[in-house]
């Protein structure tokens, strides 16, 4: 999710083992739900965002982890353009915490590159720098872990 000044909104996750990382907002696609519908639902739940421009799928990523409810996931990360806004999730803090979300903030690419935080995907700062300079890739890129 990028605003008009190319700031990116990231969610801060803390998982049960205490690991912390920052990643794009979003989540699972329910059975029978399109990617577009899932994105609209997830952004409303996690950020309170309902008015945005949905762009192309930029990146894909598959990972396997030991989580209580699932063992892995395949991600499709889309470009979302929006005006700057203060996140106001429709979900309560308790509901967000069940997903591991403990906060959100806007970042500049320079802040990402200077940070010692862990990002998902791990090369998110470089991916965003390329996206801002070159635009979306012609086909979604597999970005690894």
What residues does each domain of the chain span?
Answer: 8-142
Q: What is the pLDDT of residue 14?
A: 93
pTM of model > 0.85: yes
Fold classification of 8-142 (topology level): Nucleoside Triphosphate Pyrophosphohydrolase (3.90.79)
Strands (E), the chain: 8-14, 20-23, 53-64, 72-81, 101-107, 119-120, 141-142
Q: Residue 27 class from Cβ within 10 Å (0-12 exposed, 13-18 middle, 19+ buried)?
A: middle
Q: Could you read off the pLDDT tens digit of each residue along the chain, which spans 145 residues?
A: 999 999 999 999 998 788 899 999 988 889 999 999 999 999 999 999 999 999 999 999 986 665 555 556 688 999 999 999 999 999 999 999 998 999 999 999 999 999 999 999 999 999 999 999 999 999 999 998 7
Write b or e for each residue in 28-47: b if 16 or more Cβ atoms lie within 10 A of its Cβ, otherwise e: ebeeeeeeeebbbbbbebbb
Within 13 Å and on the Cβ side, how many CA atoms surround 6? 15
């Amino acid at each position: 999710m990028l605003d008009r000044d190319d700031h990116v909104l990231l969610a801060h996750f803390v998982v049960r083992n205490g690991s912390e990382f920052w990643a794009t907002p979003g989540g699972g696609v329910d059975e029978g739900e399109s990617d577009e519908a899932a994105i609209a639902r997830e952004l409303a739940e996690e950020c309170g965002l309902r008015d945005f421009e949905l762009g192309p799928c930029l990146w894909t990523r598959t990972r396997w982890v030991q989580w209580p409810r699932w063992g892995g996931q395949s991600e499709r990360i889309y470009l979302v353009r929006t005006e700057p806004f203060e996140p106001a999730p429709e979900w309560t803090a308790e509901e967000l915490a069940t997903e591991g979300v403990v906060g959100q903030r806007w970042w500049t690419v320079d802040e990402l590159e200077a940070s010692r935080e862990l990002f998902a995907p791990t090369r998110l700062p470089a991916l965003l720098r390329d996206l801002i300079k070159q635009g979306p890739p012609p086909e979604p890129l597999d970005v690894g872990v």
